[in-house]
């Protein structure tokens, strides 16, 4: 069993409904990782989910706090949420740079995964903003400095291109995905799966630790229901966590 910290994969929507002369606002919290949490639990992993709006305040600020976990997953949560804890943004006080902290933690033996999405890698309008950061330095891929999304509403299929513990037991051709991030593998990375000739799944060993990049989403819209219902969905991410944990 591995202990996993999943940061992100939630959002808050604020909506105003108009009904004739009258309107009323309402808000709702959405959780995008329910299927992933279930799949990792079935695989025997213990996951703590830190919702996106809690990341700035509650994500670990020390190596000792990170050491409570074997694997950290960043999914659809931008760099600002890690860089701007309340003491920095609201009080103007100094605090550790959690991107650099994660790099040090990985180099000491931790496992880091980034999954794709509108606020992953560089993201929608480059708002995720992980390009040229300590996170990019340790990932198995280089990140573009601008909006890196590739929307594929027609559907595209990933294909396994290398045997590895992460891809063990998976079909060679995967169910359709509806989008992904355009990434470039580092020279010492291993690309395990491709989509349209680009890396979909890549891994890398970084000193004593390991990193993994999955260029598409773990939930809709890029990961449609067919992908999440695929038997390989749980196997893929269960394998990923097991390998990252060493």
Name the nearest CA neighbour of 140 among 207, 205, 204, 187: 204
Angle, CA 194 vertex, CA 193 and CA 197 arms, to 5°: 155
- In this prediction, residue 125 carries a pLDDT of 98
- In this prediction, residue 130 carries a pLDDT of 98
Please, what sign has the CA dihedral across residues 241, 242, 243, 246? positive
Q: Mark the ranges of the chain whose per-residue pLDDT is less than 50.
A: none
- Over residues 51-74, the pLDDT tens digits come to 999 999 999 999 999 999 999 999
- Over residues 133-174, the pLDDT tens digits come to 999 999 999 999 999 999 999 999 999 999 999 999 999 999
DSSP state of 82: H
- In this prediction, residue 226 carries a pLDDT of 96
Burial bucket for residue 50 (CB in 10 Å: 0-12, 13-18, 19+): buried
- In this prediction, residue 39 carries a pLDDT of 96
Burial 113-148 (b: 16+ CB within 10 A, else e): bbbbbbbbbbbeebebbbbebbbbbbbbbbbbeeeb
- In this prediction, residue 116 carries a pLDDT of 98
182 contacts 123 by C-beta, under 8 angstroms: no
Please name the residues in contact with 191: beta carbons below 8 A apart, sequence gap of 6 or more. 161, 162, 185, 199, 201, 202
Please name the residues in contact with 154: beta carbons below 8 A apart, sequence gap of 6 or more. none
**CA atoms of 4 and 245, how far apart (whole Å):** 9
């Amino acid at each position: 069993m591995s202990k996993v910290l999943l940061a992100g994969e939630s959002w808050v929507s604020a909506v105003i409904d108009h009904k004739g002369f009258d309107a009323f606002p309402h808000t709702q919290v959405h959780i995008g990782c329910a299927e992933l949490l279930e799949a990792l639990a079935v695989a025997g992993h213990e996951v703590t989910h830190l919702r996106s709006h809690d990341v700035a305040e509650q994500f670990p600020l020390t190596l000792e706090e990170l050491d409570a976990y074997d694997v950290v997953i960043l999914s659809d949560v931008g760099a600002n949420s890690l860089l701007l804890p309340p003491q920095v943004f609201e009080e103007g006080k100094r605090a550790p740079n959690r991107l650099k902290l994660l790099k040090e933690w990985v180099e000491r033996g931790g496992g880091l995964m980034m999954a794709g999405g509108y606020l992953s890698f560089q993201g929608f309008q480059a708002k995720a903003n992980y390009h040229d950061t300590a996170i990019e330095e340790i990932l198995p891929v280089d990140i573009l400095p601008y909006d890196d999304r590739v929307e594929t509403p027609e559907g595209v299929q990933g294909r396994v291109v290398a045997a590895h513990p992460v891809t063990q037991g998976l079909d060679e051709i995967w169910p359709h995905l509806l989008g992904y991030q355009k990434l470039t593998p580092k020279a010492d990375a291993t690309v395990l799966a491709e989509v349209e000739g680009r890396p979909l799944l890549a891994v890398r060993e970084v000193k004593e630790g390991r990193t993994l990049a999955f260029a598409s989403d773990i939930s809709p819209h890029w990961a449609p229901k067919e992908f999440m219902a695929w038997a390989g969905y749980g196997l893929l991410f269960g394998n990923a966590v097991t390998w990252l944990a060493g």
